Structure 1
Amino acid sequence: MTATPFVDHYAQAAQRAYAIAGIARDRFAPPETLLVLGQIARHLDQAGAFLDALKPGAYVSLPVEATEALWLADTLAEDHPATRFPIGFTNYVLQPLTDRSLPFPDPLFPVTDRFGRQEADLVHALHQLHGDNKHQWERTDHWLCEVFTVWQKHMRLADEVRVDNARPCNQH
């Protein structure tokens, strides 16, 4: 029997917070959205710092300051969909500590077949990424970049589907 390596779940959560903050800073967006992305990144950095300060070992509780910073980041993303961060995206940070479910998109119900195929491909990619535990833990930053790229594409597709479904020729 081989011993499994020790995993510091607090450090993993902190790394995830920092990685997503980097993703927020790297996004291209209009100036008003860039301001919000900067605020989201700062909240994620704060959460990461609070999580990083915790000693490895038995799980005791989440620091209130970290959960507040994550809540603020989530709230900003929900209030500003142009950031292209899904509702509940901070569960990617908390998942190593709480085993919370990772966010998943609601069905778009596109009328146009092309959009239906695109949605199916993106949903499949997200399923694959969520199930890739080795990639999640060993190459966390890369994994999160892939996850949030898929989310960004899905959220853009959702906008296109809303417009396409509202076209008079697609009304049944």
Structure 2
Amino acid sequence: MTTITNPCAQAAHRARIIAEIARDRFADGPIRAAILTIAAHLDAAADHFAALPPGTQGLPTEATEELFRAEQAAVDCPATRFPAEFGEYVLAPLVDRPLPMPAPLRPLDPAHALQETDLRNRLEQLHADTAAQSERPAQWLGSVLRTWQKHMRLADSVRAHNGRPCNQR
């Protein structure tokens, strides 16, 4: 596999990968519509990134606006199970900031706490795997987004468990 070295081309490639991941998710009704909206905005962002000449400095406004719209669609429909900050994975080749991590869940159930620790450790391992990020971005992004998806499901379980009257402190 050829490694893409142009940061704008890398961002375009990552946006297209995440759009494909979105389209591959099973859902129906309003969740499916939100997923397709996310994918459409990611495709538009990819087109804007791809249109930039090599060596372009800074973040292109049109592309970042499309990423914002994609992230907003995820925020507006949490059932898509896309993290609110997934655009950071697209922008990573262009900016020097840490990749997003989920907020602590603070579960009361020890089994949930163990699951959270495992998922956070997995995400940290994936973030640290710079070779996979550049050499196998589709596999890497798929693993990252599956881990986020599992964490978001766990967050729902933790909220339900922590919210039970017997668990109120």
Q: Same fold (TM over 0.5)?
A: yes
Equivalent pair of 2:107/2:113 in contact (CA under 8 Å) = yes
Q: Distance in 2 between matches of 1:17 and 1:131?
A: 20
Corresponding letter in the other structure for 1:26:
D
Corresponding letter in the other structure for 2:114:
R
Matches within 5 A, 1:1-172: 7-57=5-55, 59-172=56-169
Contiguous gaps of at least 5 residues in structure 1: none
Name the CA shift for 1:42/1:155 in 2 (closer, same or farther; >3 Å).
same
Name the CA shift for 1:6/1:111 in 2 (closer, same or farther; >3 Å).
closer
Residue identity (%): 52
> What is the CA distance between 1:98 and its match in structure 2?
1.2
Q: Distance in 1 between matches of 2:140 and 2:132?
A: 6
Equivalent pair of 1:102/1:130 in contact (CA under 8 Å) = yes
Q: Distance in 1 between matches of 2:28 and 2:159?
A: 21
Corresponding letter in the other structure for 1:97:
L
> What is the CA distance between 1:21 and its match in structure 2?
0.3
Q: Distance in 2 between matches of 1:100 and 1:69?
A: 20
Size of the aligned set, in residue pairs, is 167
Contiguous gaps of at least 5 residues in structure 2: none
Q: Distance in 1 between matches of 2:142 and 2:43?
A: 17
Q: Distance in 2 between matches of 1:22 and 1:102?
A: 20
Superposition RMSD on alpha carbons, in Å?
1.3
1:147-171 C-alpha deviation (Å, 9 max, x unpaired): 0000000000000000001112222
Name the CA shift for 1:15/1:115 in 2 (closer, same or farther; >3 Å).
same
Q: TM-score, normalised by structure 1?
A: 0.93
- Alignment partner of 2:93: what SS? helix
